[in-house]
Amino acid sequence: MDELTKNEVLGDLYAYYGKLLTKNQQSYFEDYYYNDLSLGEIALNHQVSRQAVYDNLRRCRTLLVNYEEKLHMQKDYNEIEEKLGQISIAIKEKQQNQALNNINELLHKMRGE
């Protein structure tokens, strides 16, 4: 996976789980990934070492990935979005039985069945 893809994945995970990070972690993450600041610039702004920023960002990445592995909100959202798209297509094509089957599958998934 290239760096751009990794950053995009992390940005998506941050959208789901960013509020679970500490305020400092959120600030470091946003400065680095959204505001495109260097480690040195972030360190200067927060009056910490570059190593502290690096360690904090690495910890953030690990936390975000762990949250997704345990809670799988992003995975579930993507599956629900895909299923809703299939339902929409089935309705447009007047395939009511297929749409109902997809709705029932979605309901079962949402109920954890």
CB burial of 25-54 (b: ≥16 within 10 Å; e: otherwise) equals: bebbbebbbeeebebeebbeeeeeeeebbe
**Band of residue 57 on the pLDDT scale cut at 50, 70, 90:** very high
With contact defined as beta carbons under 8 Å apart, do 83 and 105 qualify?
yes
Question: What is the reported pTM?
Answer: 0.81
Find the mean pLDDT for residues 94-108: 91
Residue 4: pLDDT band (50, 70, 90) is confident
* Residue 102 in this model has a pLDDT that exceeds 80: yes
